[in-house]
Amino acid sequence: MSEIEEDPWASALAEQAASSSGADEEDPWAAALNEQAEAEKVTATTDNNASPQSSTYLDKKDKVDLDVVLDVPVTLALEIGRANVTIRNLLSYTQGSVIELERLAGEPLDVLVNGTLIAHGEVVVVNDKFGVRLTDVVSPIERIKKLR
Protein backbone atom coordinates (compact mmCIF):
# COMPACT_ATOMS: atom_id res chain seq x y z
CA MET A 1 0.00 0.00 0.00
CA SER A 2 1.46 3.40 -0.90
CA GLU A 3 1.82 6.28 1.57
CA ILE A 4 -0.88 8.28 -0.22
CA GLU A 5 -3.41 5.47 0.28
CA GLU A 6 -2.47 5.16 3.96
CA ASP A 7 -2.85 8.87 4.72
CA PRO A 8 -6.39 10.18 4.04
CA TRP A 9 -5.21 13.80 4.06
CA ALA A 10 -2.53 13.15 1.47
CA SER A 11 -5.06 11.22 -0.61
CA ALA A 12 -7.58 14.07 -0.44
CA LEU A 13 -4.91 16.62 -1.32
CA ALA A 14 -3.78 14.52 -4.27
CA GLU A 15 -7.40 14.26 -5.49
CA GLN A 16 -7.84 17.99 -5.12
CA ALA A 17 -4.63 18.68 -7.02
CA ALA A 18 -5.67 16.28 -9.82
CA SER A 19 -9.16 17.80 -10.14
CA SER A 20 -7.86 21.38 -10.21
CA SER A 21 -5.04 20.72 -12.70
CA GLY A 22 -6.84 22.87 -15.28
CA ALA A 23 -7.14 25.75 -12.79
CA ASP A 24 -4.78 28.68 -12.47
CA GLU A 25 -1.25 27.40 -11.79
CA GLU A 26 -0.45 30.46 -9.61
CA ASP A 27 -2.93 29.52 -6.84
CA PRO A 28 -1.09 30.16 -3.53
CA TRP A 29 -3.47 27.92 -1.54
CA ALA A 30 -2.84 24.96 -3.81
CA ALA A 31 0.90 25.51 -3.54
CA ALA A 32 0.68 25.74 0.25
CA LEU A 33 -1.43 22.57 0.46
CA ASN A 34 1.02 20.70 -1.75
CA GLU A 35 3.94 21.86 0.40
CA GLN A 36 2.08 20.75 3.52
CA ALA A 37 1.32 17.34 2.02
CA GLU A 38 4.98 16.86 1.09
CA ALA A 39 6.10 17.94 4.56
CA GLU A 40 3.64 15.51 6.18
CA LYS A 41 4.97 12.66 4.03
CA VAL A 42 8.54 13.45 5.10
CA THR A 43 7.51 13.80 8.76
CA ALA A 44 5.55 10.53 8.70
CA THR A 45 8.53 8.72 7.19
CA THR A 46 10.94 10.30 9.70
CA ASP A 47 8.68 9.56 12.70
CA ASN A 48 8.22 5.93 11.63
CA ASN A 49 12.00 5.50 11.49
CA ALA A 50 12.65 7.23 14.85
CA SER A 51 12.60 5.10 17.94
CA PRO A 52 10.24 6.33 20.69
CA GLN A 53 13.23 6.36 23.07
CA SER A 54 15.27 8.55 20.72
CA SER A 55 15.96 11.98 22.25
CA THR A 56 15.38 13.78 18.95
CA TYR A 57 12.02 12.03 18.60
CA LEU A 58 11.00 13.07 22.13
CA ASP A 59 12.34 16.62 21.77
CA LYS A 60 10.42 17.17 18.55
CA LYS A 61 7.19 15.71 19.96
CA ASP A 62 7.47 17.52 23.31
CA LYS A 63 8.06 20.88 21.67
CA VAL A 64 5.00 20.57 19.45
CA ASP A 65 2.79 19.31 22.28
CA LEU A 66 3.94 21.95 24.76
CA ASP A 67 3.41 24.83 22.34
CA VAL A 68 -0.24 23.81 22.05
CA VAL A 69 -0.98 23.56 25.78
CA LEU A 70 1.28 26.12 27.48
CA ASP A 71 -1.51 28.69 27.94
CA VAL A 72 -4.25 26.26 28.99
CA PRO A 73 -5.37 27.05 32.56
CA VAL A 74 -5.34 24.20 35.09
CA THR A 75 -6.47 23.92 38.71
CA LEU A 76 -3.68 23.36 41.20
CA ALA A 77 -4.87 22.00 44.56
CA LEU A 78 -2.98 21.13 47.73
CA GLU A 79 -4.53 18.39 49.80
CA ILE A 80 -3.70 18.20 53.48
CA GLY A 81 -5.81 15.12 54.03
CA ARG A 82 -9.27 13.58 53.75
CA ALA A 83 -11.96 12.42 56.10
CA ASN A 84 -15.06 10.30 55.55
CA VAL A 85 -17.93 11.54 57.70
CA THR A 86 -21.64 10.92 57.85
CA ILE A 87 -24.07 13.68 57.07
CA ARG A 88 -25.19 13.54 60.74
CA ASN A 89 -21.64 14.37 61.89
CA LEU A 90 -21.21 16.99 59.16
CA LEU A 91 -24.35 18.82 60.29
CA SER A 92 -23.19 18.76 63.91
CA TYR A 93 -19.97 20.68 63.17
CA THR A 94 -19.85 24.21 64.55
CA GLN A 95 -17.22 26.89 64.83
CA GLY A 96 -14.23 25.40 66.64
CA SER A 97 -15.02 21.77 65.69
CA VAL A 98 -11.97 19.65 64.92
CA ILE A 99 -12.11 17.22 62.01
CA GLU A 100 -9.69 14.30 62.20
CA LEU A 101 -7.99 13.63 58.86
CA GLU A 102 -6.67 10.30 57.59
CA ARG A 103 -3.16 11.73 57.24
CA LEU A 104 -0.63 11.83 60.07
CA ALA A 105 1.01 15.04 61.27
CA GLY A 106 4.26 15.69 59.41
CA GLU A 107 3.22 13.76 56.29
CA PRO A 108 3.70 15.68 53.03
CA LEU A 109 0.81 17.38 51.23
CA ASP A 110 -0.48 16.05 47.92
CA VAL A 111 -0.13 18.46 44.99
CA LEU A 112 -2.90 17.80 42.46
CA VAL A 113 -3.36 19.28 38.99
CA ASN A 114 -6.92 18.88 37.76
CA GLY A 115 -7.35 16.09 40.31
CA THR A 116 -4.22 14.16 39.27
CA LEU A 117 -1.42 13.69 41.80
CA ILE A 118 1.78 15.22 40.42
CA ALA A 119 3.91 15.81 43.53
CA HIS A 120 4.22 15.80 47.32
CA GLY A 121 5.34 18.83 49.28
CA GLU A 122 5.53 20.62 52.59
CA VAL A 123 3.96 23.90 53.69
CA VAL A 124 6.26 26.93 53.89
CA VAL A 125 5.64 30.56 54.81
CA VAL A 126 7.33 33.22 52.69
CA ASN A 127 6.68 36.93 53.36
CA ASP A 128 3.56 36.09 55.41
CA LYS A 129 2.09 33.99 52.60
CA PHE A 130 1.67 30.24 52.51
CA GLY A 131 3.44 28.25 49.84
CA VAL A 132 4.50 24.69 49.18
CA ARG A 133 8.00 23.30 48.71
CA LEU A 134 7.93 20.26 46.44
CA THR A 135 9.72 17.35 48.04
CA ASP A 136 8.87 14.59 45.56
CA VAL A 137 7.61 14.89 41.99
CA VAL A 138 5.67 11.92 40.61
CA SER A 139 7.24 10.62 37.41
CA PRO A 140 5.20 10.88 34.19
CA ILE A 141 5.17 7.08 33.92
CA GLU A 142 3.62 6.75 37.39
CA ARG A 143 1.00 9.42 36.57
CA ILE A 144 -0.01 7.54 33.43
CA LYS A 145 -0.30 4.28 35.39
CA LYS A 146 -2.65 5.95 37.89
CA LEU A 147 -4.86 7.29 35.10
CA ARG A 148 -5.58 3.77 33.84
Transcribe 25-62 into DSSP letters. TT-HHHHHHHHHHHHHHHHHHHHHHS-TT-HHHHHHHH
Tell me, yes or no, whether 83 and 113 share the same domain. yes
| pLDDT confidence of residue 4 | 43
| pLDDT confidence of residue 9 | 65
| pLDDT confidence of residue 12 | 67
Tell me, yes or no, whether 140 and 82 share the same domain. yes
**Structural domain that includes position 135:** 76-147
The residue with greater pLDDT, 67 or 53, is 67
Tell me, yes or no, whether 128 and 98 share the same domain. yes
State the average pLDDT over residues 113-121: 90
Domain end point (choices 69, 99, 115): 69
Domain end point (choices 69, 102, 119): 69
Number of domains in the chain: 2
Rg (CA), the chain: 27
| Mean pLDDT computed over every residue of the chain | 76
